[in-house]
Amino acid sequence: MNKIGSYIQEAYDELLHKVNWPSWDELQQTTAIVLAALAIVTGVVSLMDGGSKLILTIIYGILAK
């Protein structure tokens, strides 16, 4: 049990004194970058999904005749 307590104390100490936390401005900038990247990836996946749906609809239409 002593090792667990020591581990928790060291982890707590590291979070308070050794971790370099971002400033509020840095946090806002990186959040905006992540949201923009998420929007771009979502758009690309959506276009790929729509394109594959269109292509498969055409192929199935040709094969059904």
User: Three-state SS string across the chain, please?
Assistant: CHHHHHHHHHHHHHHHHCCCCCCHHHHHHHHHHHHHHHHHHHHHHHHHHHHHHHHHHHHHHHHHC
**Predicted local distance difference test score (pLDDT) of residue 17:** 92
Band the pLDDT of 65: cuts 50, 70, 90: confident
Band the pLDDT of 2: cuts 50, 70, 90: confident
